[in-house]
Structure 1
Amino acid sequence: MTPRPGGGGAASGRVDLAGLGFTDGADLLVRRALAGLPPGGRLHVSGRHPELRVHLGAWCRGAGHRLEDPEPDPGGSGAPPSDAAVAVVVKGRRDDDRWFGAVRAGSAHGVVDRPPGSWGLAARGALIEAGGPEVHFDVNEREVVWADAVARMYAHAASRQWDPATAVDWSSAAGLDPEIETAVVQLMTYLVENEQAALIVPARFLGRIHPHFREVVQLLSVQVADEARHMEVFNRRALLHRDRLGTSSAGGRASLLTLVEETDFSMASFLLSVLGEGSFVDLLAFLHTYAPDPVTRRIAWLAMQDERRHVAFGVAHLQRQAEQDPALLGRLRGAIERRHDALADTAGLNDDVFASLVVLAAGEWTPAAIAAGGERVRRLQHAMDDGRRRRLVRLGFPLDEAAELSALHTRNFM
């Protein structure tokens, strides 16, 4: 290291570490000696540990100080005295975010528009030592992921976690009429399939979102946990009195695949949360109303509360993004149209699922009851359409366009 002048009268100090190394606590003595010096002060460090100079340099980089060679012996005698300094530590200004190459990863109390890859996995607001690796996160723009209420949403989501083993009284599911039980099993099979897709979509983005937006990552992580619980309780209810599940339609799987294959975060959030899960809230409310047993009613209610949070975040961050980027609405429309075209040749909602909804809404096997059940399912579909329209209007679509786009949504509900 190139020798530097003594700093023109800068305060200085000296510490002798003897044989102590940094793996044994030498940093404690160096910190203590530096504490008495002002920023820019010079601490002459001496010691006999063979790796002292290397470890001292690494410690200085992390602590925000600068390491220099000691000044040459002015007498020119050649052999250094036994207590000669190994190096000089120039005390840094920890309140200066760019002292000796360190940078601060924004503020601990706010987010920047586009955090750089050089911030890597550092905590937001941390002082980052220079020279670390760059990490690429392709979802790294505030306007794409952020919602002003995301911290509050995360706190609410974390406080509303529930345990499937204790939140549901599984012993309360008395045996139903076999045909009614078949309808419940079919609906649970359908719900498990859809919730698997709803888990995969946010999970695929967790490693792509810059950790600077940690509240978003935390909220999506809870969302993944929500979907895992939903899968568990729906599957458990399906197998409560039977040893096999219902049917899975090719059209339903094709519809869900279009969600899983979406690579753009905004488009995926729009299709899944704003449209799909929004419709699922209405479906779960329907199941809660017409459930034939307490267990089905309870798990529908619990899942519905979780799904409402998912929808709220999807709407909130896309609404904010649309305000910043008017071109977003055109891209959202394009996403709906592409998905509609991709599914144009599929059958849509599983016929067994539709029939099961009618059976539960009917409550009994009479022509009048079945007719009433069918009418209730049609009202459910109208409610789903109305909800989609309202959410599309909140994002900024005109009423007529919102109605047109809602009509293009997949017949598979999700």
Structure 2
Amino acid sequence: MTTAAGVLDLENLGFEQGAHLLVQQALRDLRPGDELGVTGADPALTVHLDAWCRHHGHRVRRALDTDFGVKAWVVRGSADLDRWAGAQRAGGPAPQGIVASPPSDWGLAARGALIETGGPETPFDITHRDLVWAEIAPALYANAASAQWNPDTMVDWKADFTLAPEVERAVVQVMTYLIENEQAALVIPAKLLARVHPHFREVLQLLAVQAADEARHMEVFTRRALLRGGEMGTSSVSGRESLATLLTEAEFSMASFLLSVLGEGSFLNLLEFLDRNAPDPVTRQVTRLARRDEARHVAFGVAHLHHQAQLDPEVRHRMRAAVERRYESLVDTAGLNQDVFDSLVILAAGEWSPSAIARGYDAVMKLQSEMDDGRQRRLVHLGFPPDEAADLSALHTKNFM
């Protein structure tokens, strides 16, 4: 403790045990040039005290015989003060404290921390709030964190059901297709995640949970595909070409637009279709759970692009250009894997008869119409006129995602 005479008695505590914390605390309230007497029973006290003071910009004055047991006097220097003289707060910890364009040398510092000047440059290239932000991001992350689910407990993998071989093959084919698309939906937020300045932590958290969601979807779709011991279905070149165009979109907003607003938005309709036409309880459970997660991904994409469009109406031109660019690169591809289309018809038909197959075919046509309607609604919400929204939706890939 510090005495009234300005002496700190460290007793038996040595610097290797944390004595510097007490010295540091005692010096905190002194002005530069003021002295603090230090004493203690540790035999190495003066050696360690001298080294610590040199490192922190303080001087040590040896005590005189008349100093009544004080071993040394520490003269507070100004180096510690100068070290933080140019320091600034990294905004505030709450979303309201976000700085629009944080410096790159803030690096991984916590938002709201007192940042010492200097430090290494960081590789984050998405460094402006409006390039990634949506006001709904903190609430969506809170929802996502509380809504995580365990595939082992949320899906009844031991449910008793029997399907005809051709129906089981249809389920496996659709699951194979879903996995392929979910892998793209995992890679894209993971790539973006590494580029966003950590100051926008709610967006980082949301992207991280989104990637975790997709990883879980890949797991449950794979487990359902292999549940009855069969082999995985087919993967078409056109399907992989369509997904590859998503991976090459470098701009955060346009990647979010193509993946979440258009692609995953269409997948909401597909997952609802599979929930409605699932031939077994496990297929129904995994598609229903996945749809709940995908709805959050779409909500963030729509909110972010709406935020962008309000700030800069020109962003709609970039959205149109992204759709047209993707369409042109895929115009010569075959579209949706025929095996996937046929499997959807089989699942919707429910039985093998001409009338049932016709009913299944009509259901898939209706699904595609519902996807188109959903895309148009989201595009109108983003500020596109209805006729332009219809044109852009029609250019969307026939591969759904």
User: Counterpart in 2 of 1:101?
Assistant: 86
Give the Å deviation of 1:106.
Answer: 0.9
- Find 1:406's aligned residue among 381, 393, 400: 393
Tell me which residue corresponds to 1:270: 257
AA in 1 matched with 2:310: E
Question: Does structure 2 retain, via aligned residues, the 8 Å contact 1:15–1:33?
Answer: yes
**Does structure 2 conserve the Cα–Cα contact (< 8 Å) formed by 1:358 and 1:373?**
yes
**Equivalent runs, 1:132-151 vs 2, <5 Å:** 132-151=119-138
Pairing partner for 1:164 from 151, 155, 161: 151
Amino acid at match of 1:283: L
The offset of 1:50, in angstroms, is 4.2
Change (3 A) 1:162 1:92: same
Are 1:25 and 2:12 matched, yes or no? no
1:305 paired residue number: 292
Deviation at 1:229, TM superposition (A): 0.6
SS of residue in 2 equivalent to 1:268: helix
- Within a 5 Å distance, the mapping from 1:324-403 to structure 2 comes to 324-403=311-390
TM-aligned CA deviation for residue 40 of structure 1: 6.4
Map 1:3-152; keep pairs closer than 5 Å: 13=6, 15=8, 22-34=15-27, 37=29, 42-44=34-36, 48-50=45-47, 52=49, 55-56=52-53, 67-69=57-59, 83=71, 85=73, 87-89=75-77, 99-109=84-94, 110-152=97-139
Match of 2:190 among 193, 199, 203: 203
In 2, the alpha carbon distance for the partners of 1:55 and 1:342 equals: 65
Q: SS in structure 2 opposite 1:339?
A: helix
Following superposition, the deviation at residue 55 of structure 1 comes to 3.9
CA displacement, residues 291-328 of structure 1 (integer Å, 9 cap, x when unaligned): 00000011110000000000000011111111112221
Please say if residues 251 and 349 of structure 1, whose CA atoms lie closer than 8 Å, have aligned partners that are also in contact.
yes
Amino acid at match of 1:380: L
SS at match of 1:409: coil
Distance in structure 2 (CA, Å) of the matches to 1:266 and 1:31: 48
The equivalent of 2:209 in structure 1 is 222
Q: Cα distance, 1:242 vs. partner?
A: 2.8
Query: Structure 1 stretches of 5 or more lacking a match?
Result: 1-11, 61-66, 74-81
Partner-residue secondary structure (3-state), 2:163:
coil
Q: Do 2:34 and 2:75's aligned partners in 1 also have CA atoms closer than 8 Å?
A: no
Give the secondary-structure state (helix, strand or coil) at the position aligned to 2:235: coil
What is the CA distance between 1:128 and its match in structure 2?
Answer: 1.6
| Aligned partners of 2:182 and 2:218 also within 8 Å | yes
Unaligned runs of 5+ in 2: 40-44, 64-69
Pairwise CA RMSD of aligned residues?
Answer: 2.8
Q: For the residues of structure 2 that align with 1:23 and 1:131, how far apart are their CA atoms? A: 29
| Cα distance, 1:209–1:17 mapped onto 2, change above 3 Å | same
Q: Deviations over 1:156-202 (max 9, x none)?
A: 00111000011000111522011101100000000000000000000
Letter in 2 for 1:27: H
Q: In structure 2, how many angstroms separate the alpha carbons of the residues matched to 1:167 and 1:43?
A: 66
In structure 1, the residue matched to 2:168 is 181
Q: Retained in 1: the 8 A contact 2:190–2:208?
A: yes
TM-score, structure 1 normalization: 0.86
Contact 1:39-1:92 within 8 A present in 2 as well: no
The answer for the alignment partner of 1:290 in structure 2 is: 277
CA deviation string 1:346-398 (max 9, x = no partner): 11100000000011111111111111111111110010001111111111111
Question: Matched residues in 1 for 2:121 and 2:175: separation?
Answer: 45
Kindly, what percent of the aligned residue pairs are identical? 59
Q: Which moved more, 1:83-92 or 1:99-108?
A: 83-92
Deviation of residue 132 (structure 1)?
2.5
Q: Distance in 2 between matches of 1:100 and 1:71?
A: 26
What are the superposed Cα offsets for residues 48-74 of structure 1, whole Å, 9 maximum, x if unpaired?
A: 55454554466x5xxxxxx4557999x
* Distance apart, 1:43 and its partner CA: 4.6
What CA distance in whole angstroms lies between the structure 1 residues aligned with 2:75 and 2:13? 15
How far did 1:27 drift? 2.6
